[in-house]
Amino acid sequence: MPKRMNLGFDVSYIAMDGRWRTPGSWVGRTFPDVEMYEEIARIAERGCFDLIFSGDGTGIPSTWEGSTDTAVEWGITWPRQDLNPLMVAMSRVTRHVGFGITYASTFMHPYYVARLMNSLDHITGGRMALNVVTSTRLADAANFGFDALMEHGARYDRMEEFIEVCQRLWDSVQGAMVWDRATGQVGDPAKVRPIDHEGRFFKVKGPLNTPPSPQGRPILVQAGGSPRGLKAAAQFVDVAFGENMSLDLQVRQRASLDQALLAAGRDPAGVGILWQKPLIVAETGEEARRRREALLTMIPREGAGAYLSHNSGYDFARLPPRFTLQALNEEIAASHATPVGIVHQLAHRFGASTEMTREEFLDYGLRYATHYETTEAGSAKEMADHLEEAFEATGSRGGFMIGHPVAMPRDLVDLVDFLIPELQRRGRFRHRYTGATLRETLADTLD
Ligand SMILES: Cc1cc2nc3c(=O)[nH]c(=O)nc-3n(C[C@H](O)[C@H](O)[C@H](O)COP(=O)(O)O)c2cc1C
């Protein structure tokens, strides 16, 4: 019997980077109309998706030319808002699909996030996941009192401490509730204990002042893919979020995570990766590939520059006329920013010593920022073949976070109408939900 995949649907970019007006998108409704999200939730649940997921960022991209103007003019990674109220709204019109929300441990306080996740887990009946990110975005950092990005290693030190505090807070109230009407006893004092945490970044007394939530702890997700990022992930993730990259790199990443898990004393068999997967499916392969072309017309080139600069913390408007990818990587790293996928991908494709012009880089940048280059498009059969190959090559654990659609709700409807039935026919995806919580849904991968 083949192993089944987990599938998430990533709503991070549905209203941004030009997608909001592409044919197939809502007309007369704009972000953040709550009814759009309710419709998404109903469609995703009809397709038995494991979860609806959103990344997040808390600043308007301002790294490109040191200004927010380009981002505001073209809607580059803007506007956004905290997705947690929208996840509550989506949970009220569904019963099974889970929800993944993103907070940056670099900026947030663990007591607040632990308490919020507990509340969300209650409201959704145990359907929450927390995606914890370090963030590479100067615009976000600037809103939380930082003049520069915290050094890469320190961001992960803070993340590990942040999650340790959250876990201890969630555990600080396990089994606490009594609710005995006859005696009036509400809680068991022996089960509610301070955590007395004093670390490098946080000092938290605890305990949490909430009842324990249905899942006890939310599902924990982490996306950073550097060796330091994987080391942090290996400490705590239930499922990793993998960057979309070529299959050989994914296989390498899977092996690196397995090694990190073993070093942390954990069994790699129990930890899946959900690979970020921009994917368009339509009734025919030709139709899907035709729709993919729309990606190239969504934003102008400077919009792509704003997108890339924001995500790396490096101003690509300052690129010299000619440079090697290796030198660019070094310069980005020297400024405490993070080499984004595009630089890795170009180095992998052309070789790190390859020389490029600024114009060549930005041309490629448009294809990268719009996800044109990495979006798979095809018939249900072609896309199911593609997913099965990647799933098996990376150890048949986890699955995919399908996202970056061209237009919503059209792309999600097509996934549910064409791709999901094909995966179900192959025994690769569930026909119905069996579990109550997200943890149970994610574990439902065998017949
Ligand atoms: C698939 C993926 C998704 C990410 N999503 C977010 C996000 O939603 N918000 C954010 O601030 N950072 C996000 N990040 C950035 C990571 O948290 C991290 O800062 C970045 O990958 C650099 O760390 P690394 O060098 O370990 O990869 C994401 C990264 C990856 C690979």
Instruction: Average the pLDDT over 82-109 and give the result.
Output: 98
Residue nearest to atom 4 of ligand 1 (CA): 223
Residue nearest to atom 7 of ligand 1 (CA): 55
Q: How far is the CA of 257 from the centre of ligand 1 (A)?
A: 16
Helix (H, G, I), strand (E, B) or coil at 101: strand
Distance CA 315, CA 338 (A): 12
Strands 98-104 and 51-53: parallel
Q: How far is the CA of 224 from the centre of ligand 1 (A)?
A: 5
Token representation of residue 15: 């209203």
The four Cα atoms 60, 63, 65, 67 give a dihedral, to 10 degrees, of 30
Rounded (5°) CA angle 80-305-152: 75
Q: Which of 312, 301, 356 is nearest to 334 (CA)?
A: 312
Among 63, 107, 134, 221, residue to substitute to test ligand 1 (most atoms within 8 Å of Cβ): 134
Q: Which atom of ligand 1 is nearest to the CA of 222?
A: 17
Residue nearest to atom 20 of ligand 1 (CA): 224
Beta carbons of 182 and 171 less than 8 angstroms apart? no
List the chain domain ranges.
6-294+374-443, 300-369
**pLDDT exceeds cutoff 90 at 139:** no
Q: How far is the CA of 225 from the centre of ligand 1 (A)?
A: 8
**pLDDT exceeds cutoff 70 at 3:** yes
Distance CA 64, CA 91 (A): 37
pLDDT of the residue at 196:
98
Token representation of residue 42: 């109903």
Binding residues for FMN: 56, 102, 152, 156, 226
Q: Which residues pair with 100 in a beta bridge?
A: 53, 129
Among 133, 220, 256, 345, residue to substitute to test ligand 1 (most atoms within 8 Å of Cβ): 133
H helix intervals, 280-419: 285-292, 301-312, 325-334, 341-350, 358-369, 380-393, 410-414
Share of the chain above pLDDT 90, in %: 86
Give residue ranges with CB within 6 A of ligand 1.
Answer: 55-57, 102, 104, 133-137, 223-226, 228-229, 241, 243, 276, 338
Instruction: Average the pLDDT over 195-216 and give the result.
Output: 98
pLDDT of the residue at 340:
60
pLDDT tens across 422-434, in order? 999 999 999 999 9
Residue nearest to atom 9 of ligand 1 (CA): 56
Instruction: Estimate the crossing angle of helix 247-263 against helix 380-393, to 10 degrees.
Output: 40
Q: Which atom of ligand 1 is nearest to the CA of 243?
A: 1
pLDDT of the residue at 260:
98
Distance CA 69, CA 63 (A): 11
**pLDDT exceeds cutoff 80 at 341:** no
Position 37: which residue type? Y
Among 136, 157, 249, 275, residue to substitute to test ligand 1 (most atoms within 8 Å of Cβ): 136
**pLDDT exceeds cutoff 80 at 285:** yes
Q: Which atom of ligand 1 is nearest to the CA of 341?
A: 31
Distance CA 367, CA 369 (A): 6
pLDDT of the residue at 103:
98
Beta carbons of 381 and 223 less than 8 angstroms apart? no
Q: Which of 339, 293, 351, 283 is nearest to 313 (CA)?
A: 339
Burial of 392 from C-beta contacts in 10 A (0-12 / 13-18 / 19+): exposed
Q: How far is the CA of 241 from the centre of ligand 1 (A)?
A: 9
Residue nearest to atom 3 of ligand 1 (CA): 223
pLDDT of the residue at 441:
98
Q: Which atom of ligand 1 is nearest to the CA of 230?
A: 26
pLDDT of the residue at 339:
58
**pLDDT exceeds cutoff 90 at 446:** no
**pLDDT exceeds cutoff 70 at 404:** yes
Is the interface score ipTM higher than 0.95?
A: yes
Highest mean pLDDT, choosing among 304-308, 330-334, 335-339:
304-308
pLDDT of the residue at 303:
95
Q: How far is the CA of 392 from the centre of ligand 1 (A)?
A: 25
**pLDDT exceeds cutoff 90 at 195:** yes
Beta carbons of 101 and 56 less than 8 angstroms apart? yes
Rounded (5°) CA angle 303-61-130: 115
Beta carbons of 152 and 226 less than 8 angstroms apart? yes
Q: How far is the CA of 90 from the centre of ligand 1 (A)?
A: 25
Place of tokens 């370090």: 134
**267 C-beta neighbours (distance < 10 Å), count:** 9
What is the Cα gyration radius of the chain? 22
Mean pLDDT for all residues in the chain = 95
Instruction: Average the pLDDT over 299-328 and give the result.
Output: 91
In angstroms, the Cα distances linking 89 to 35, 40, 92, 229, 391 are 9, 11, 5, 32, 32
Residue nearest to atom 12 of ligand 1 (CA): 135
Instruction: Average the pLDDT over 187-213 and give the result.
Output: 98
Distance CA 337, CA 140 (A): 13
Residue nearest to atom 15 of ligand 1 (CA): 135
Architecture, CATH, for domain 6-294+374-443: Alpha-Beta Barrel (3.20)
Helix (H, G, I), strand (E, B) or coil at 324: strand
Q: Which of 220, 224, 216 is nearest to 242 (CA)?
A: 224
